[in-house]
């Protein structure tokens, strides 16, 4: 069993030691809880469970604590991919719900698997997901101060390999912050979150760059065609260099390799397997 999670990029973590420590502790606790869950659940159930915990932690830009868009509203995106069935489900730009990943999970069992905007919200309400305002005062303060100049990305993601050897990946985001309403994040696309029976990948970074590089899909395809996870990831991230693409990646392959990499410092992450727990330093 293997588990890796990320909490996106957070430039402030480098200089603000309190924030860094809080994120290290949160990721440490969540990866541990997730690993316990994985002992009794499938990879698919576990990535949903873990991403829900990350969405509920307001240190990260997903669910509660999501960033605010240019018109003052929060719109969130999340997706889920099951490596076994190849089902991909997600919500794009959903408002006023607590856990976008849980709605993505519900959609996995539907024929229509990715819903956006009002349609996603109506579906959520019809399926018992209550009104919830994910805004926290810190994000409103940042919005009002227009701190859009510094990169403040804190998307979350999880990849799990369960004891049956099945893989799943999930990713959830509040977006880039200050974006034009209607902008579509990579997090609920196959570029930002992809998984098959060979490998699972969750990305963070600038969504436009991740889509241009088809990052998650490319890495998984390379592993499927025989490359190991780490060179497959490095090759794909190298291909972002000509346009200075900004991306971070976590992944697990079916042979048990766990890998994480980023094009710019630095992504916050944690991993857990039978031997050890590792947290970004």
- Catalogue the active-site residues: 155
245 binds ligand ASP (CB under 6 A): no
Measured from the CB of residue 95, what is the shortest distance to ligand ASP in angstroms? 15
Rounded CA-CA distance 245/236 in Å is: 11
Measured from the CB of residue 197, what is the shortest distance to ligand ASP in angstroms? 25
55 binds ligand ASP (CB under 6 A): no
Measured from the CB of residue 101, what is the shortest distance to ligand ASP in angstroms? 15
155 binds ligand ASP (CB under 6 A): yes
Rounded CA-CA distance 81/86 in Å is: 7
69 binds ligand ASP (CB under 6 A): no
Beta bridge partners of 167: 161
Nearer to ligand ASP, 166 or 209 (CB): 209
Nearer to ligand ASP, 8 or 134 (CB): 8
| The 3-state secondary structure of 22-69, one letter per residue | HHHHHHHHHHHHHHHHHCCCCHHHHHHHHHHHHHHCCCCCCCCCCCCC
Exactly one of 3, 4, 5, 8 binds ligand ASP (CB under 6 A); that residue is 8
Please give the helix or strand (H or E) that residue 20 lies within, else none.
helix 17-38
46 binds ligand ASP (CB under 6 A): no
Closest residue by beta carbon to ligand ASP: 207
> What distance lies between CA 221 and its chain's CA centroid?
19
Exactly one of 55, 166, 186, 262 binds ligand ASP (CB under 6 A); that residue is 186
Measured from the CB of residue 257, what is the shortest distance to ligand ASP in angstroms? 23
Q: Nearest Cα to 252, choosing from 238, 265, 233, 236?
A: 233
Cα-flanking dihedrals φ and ψ of residue 275, to 5°? -100, -40
For the record, the structure tokens of 272 come out as: 């857990």
Measured from the CB of residue 186, what is the shortest distance to ligand ASP in angstroms? 5
Region binding ligand ASP by CB under 6 A among candidate stretches 22-30, 201-209, 228-236, 269-277: 201-209
Q: Provide the Cα torsion 218, 224, 227, 231; round to 10°.
A: 30
93 binds ligand ASP (CB under 6 A): no
185 binds ligand ASP (CB under 6 A): yes
Rounded CA-CA distance 115/107 in Å is: 8
100 binds ligand ASP (CB under 6 A): no
217 binds ligand ASP (CB under 6 A): no
CB 281 within 8 A of CB 28: no
Please give the helix or strand (H or E) that residue 139 lies within, else none.
helix 137-144
52 binds ligand ASP (CB under 6 A): no
Region binding ligand ASP by CB under 6 A among candidate stretches 49-57, 79-87, 101-109, 171-179: 171-179
In the chain, the N- to C-terminal Cα span, in Å, equals 23
99 binds ligand ASP (CB under 6 A): no
**Applying CB under 6 A, which residues contact ligand ASP?**
8, 61, 153-155, 173, 175-176, 185-187, 204-207, 210
């Amino acid at each position: 069993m293997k588990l890796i999670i990320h909490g996106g990029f957070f430039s402030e973590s480098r200089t603000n030691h309190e924030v860094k420590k809080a994120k290290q502790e949160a990721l440490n606790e969540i990866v541990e809880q997730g690993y316990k869950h994985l002992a009794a659940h499938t990879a698919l159930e576990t990535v949903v469970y873990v991403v829900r915990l990350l969405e509920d932690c307001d240190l990260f830009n997903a669910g509660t604590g999501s960033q605010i868009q240019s018109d003052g509203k929060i719109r969130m995106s999340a997706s889920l991919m099951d490596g076994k069935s190849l089902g991909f489900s997600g919500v794009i730009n959903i408002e006023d719900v607590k856990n976008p990943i849980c709605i993505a999970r519900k959609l996995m069992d539907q024929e229509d698997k990715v819903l956006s905007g009002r349609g996603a919200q109506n579906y959520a309400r019809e399926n018992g997901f209550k009104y919830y305002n994910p805004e926290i005062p810190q994000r409103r303060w940042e919005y009002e101060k227009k701190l859009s100049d510094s990169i403040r990305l804190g998307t979350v993601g999880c990849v799990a390999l369960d004891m049956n050897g099945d893989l799943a990946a999930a990713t959830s985001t509040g977006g880039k912050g200050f974006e034009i309403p209607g902008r579509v994040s990579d997090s609920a696309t196959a570029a930002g979150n992809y998984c098959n029976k060979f490998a699972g990948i969750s990305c963070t970074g600038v969504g436009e760059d991740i889509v241009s590089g088809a990052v998650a899909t490319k890495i998984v395809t390379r592993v499927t065609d025989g490359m190991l996870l780490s060179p497959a990831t490095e090759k794909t991230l190298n291909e972002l260099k000509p346009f200075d693409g900004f991306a971070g990646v976590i992944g697990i392959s079916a042979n048990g390799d766990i890998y994480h990499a980023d094009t710019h410092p630095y992504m916050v992450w944690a991993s857990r397997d039978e031997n050890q727990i590792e947290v970004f330093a």
